[in-house]
Every structure is written in C-alpha cells, then in structure tokens.
Amino acid sequence: MNRKMDLMVLPVIIGVFMILMFSIGAPKRQSDLENMPSLPRPIAKETILITSAGQSTDTYIVKDIANKLMIHNYFMPQATTFDLDEINTIVFVIGYSRMSEKLYALDYDAELERLENLLEKGLQQKMSLITVYIGGDYRYDEDSYALLELIGSKSDYIIATADESSNQALHIISKAHSIPLTIVQRLTDITEPFASAFR
C-alpha cells in the first residue's frame, strides 16, 4: 500500500515540476525589428485625451505615466466624440478585455464603433493620434489585433513593449503606413518615448 502511494506521489511531484520548468521556459526574446528609441521632435500637443481601446486596465498605467510627466490630460476610457472639445491629441491604449466587456456591459462591436468614430473625428480635426500597446503577447489575440490594425494604421506614433508576436504585427503596420514605432524592452521604459511625443 505504501509502495503504491510512493509510486503515485512521485509522478505527481515530477509532473508538477516539469510543468513549472516548461512554463518558466526561455526568457523573452528581444525583438530584432528596427525601432527608434524615441521621437527626434514632438509630434503632438497637449491637452491629451487618454482613452482605452478594449477597456483593459493598461489604460490606467498610461494615465499614470502622463500624470507623472505632467502632461495635461483627460482620462476617459470610454470617451466619445462629444469628449473631444479642447483636445489636441488622442492617446489610444490598446488591449481588449473580455472581463471589462462583462463588467461594463459593453459589446465588442459597440467598442469598435466608438473607436472608429473617435478616429474619424480626430482625423477630421487634425488631432495627433498616438497608439500605446503594452499588453505584449499576453493580450495579443484576434480582438486586440483588430484594434491594433484599426487604430495603429491611422496613428502618428506607436509605442509598444517588446514581445514576439505583437511586435511583428506592429512592425508590419508601421512599415505599411510609415508610422514611427518605438518598442521598449521594459514597461517602465515607456516614459521616454511617450514624453518625446510632446516635448
């Protein structure tokens, strides 16, 4: 009986630790895509509107960075075209969150429509559009990619954190639409390129 127990416990321990080992895996691969560390000159003006594209909590991080940089901003994750008065730049923080869809009773199509309207009005009013994507491969799914393509392709500047799959897509978008792209290795490094867009 004891021997049976030993035989059973051992595979459990080995199995669990093998899973953990595979999960730890290799460190993140550094992107080999060309990217600029920051913009050589500002492309956008304050006041900025920080809004979410996908309603992830990543938007709060960008708002916090903007506040620390003392950039005059309005933080409206669900901003509509009516919120664009006095706004010179729209910062879209991309990252689709299913949980937010549930919590705020939102619909993906409605979110797309809201963003399209914002883009349209922003372009009409010649506002600067900045795309920030800090979700990396974590948030890189079909829905987030669609948002990246929609907004990124019409942006003036894209800032993202380094990650394999999402960076490839960003590079394609950047190249196809000649949009400056900055990819940072660590999330905390985003401050510099973000500031360079304004100062």
Partner 1 sequence: MTLRYQEIKYVVWAIGLLILTYLIPVTTDFVWIEIVAKIREAINSGDSGPLIMSSAIYSIVYTVQNVVTFLAVFCLTLSFNRYKKISFLINSGVTLISFALINHTINTWQLIPWESFSSIVSAITVLLLIKNSFHLNNNFYRTVVIATMVFFAFQWLNMMPLFSNGQFGITDIPVSIKITSQYLQSDAVLNFVGLAFFIPLFLSALITSTLFVSFDKNIAIAHENHAKEIALETIRATALEQRVYLEINSIAHDLKTPLVTIRGLNSLLMLSPDQEKTMVYSEKIDSAVEKMSDMISAFLYETSKQRMSVSDLVDYMRAQIPIDDDYLRVTTEIETDLPEIYINKIRVSRAMINIVENAIRVPSLYPIKEVDINAKRETGYVCIEIIDNGTGISSEKLKEIWNMGYSDYNSTGLGLFFVKKIIEENGGTVTIQSVVGTGTTVQMRFPTFER
Segment near partner 1 (CB under 8 A), from 5-13, 30-38, 83-91, 172-180? 5-13
Site for partner 1 in 134-153 (CB under 8 A): 134-136, 138-139
Among 3, 14, 16, 32, binds partner 1 (CB under 8 A): 16
Told to check if 30 binds partner 1 by CB under 8 A, we report no
Told to check if 18 binds partner 1 by CB under 8 A, we report no
Contact characters 166-195, partner 1, x per CB under 8 A: --------------------xxx-------
CB 44 within 8 A of CB 198: yes
- According to DSSP, the β-strands at 48-53 and 73-75 are parallel
Cis peptide before 57 (omega within 30 of 0): no
Told to check if 4 binds partner 1 by CB under 8 A, we report yes
178: alpha, beta or left? (left if phi > 0; alpha if psi -120 to 50): left
> CA distances (Å), 19 to each of 9, 26, 29, 158, in order?
15, 14, 21, 36
**Which is nearer to partner 1, 30 or 124 (by Cβ)?**
30
Told to check if 12 binds partner 1 by CB under 8 A, we report yes
Among 3, 8, 41, 178, binds partner 1 (CB under 8 A): 8
Told to check if 102 binds partner 1 by CB under 8 A, we report yes
Does residue 189 sit in helix, strand or coil?
Answer: helix
Helix (H) or strand (E) holding 158: strand 157-161
Distance CA 64, CA 51 (A): 13
Does residue 188 sit in helix, strand or coil?
Answer: helix
Told to check if 108 binds partner 1 by CB under 8 A, we report no
Q: What is the smallest separation between the CB atom of 175 and partner 1, expressed in angstroms?
A: 26
Among 25, 40, 109, 142, binds partner 1 (CB under 8 A): 25
**Of the candidates 190, 187, 197, which has an alpha carbon nearest to the alpha carbon of residue 155?**
197
Distance CA 176, CA 69 (A): 31
Binding site for partner 1 (CB under 8 A): 1-2, 4-5, 8-9, 11-13, 15-16, 19-20, 22-28, 56-58, 60-61, 63-64, 97-103, 134-136, 138-139, 186-188
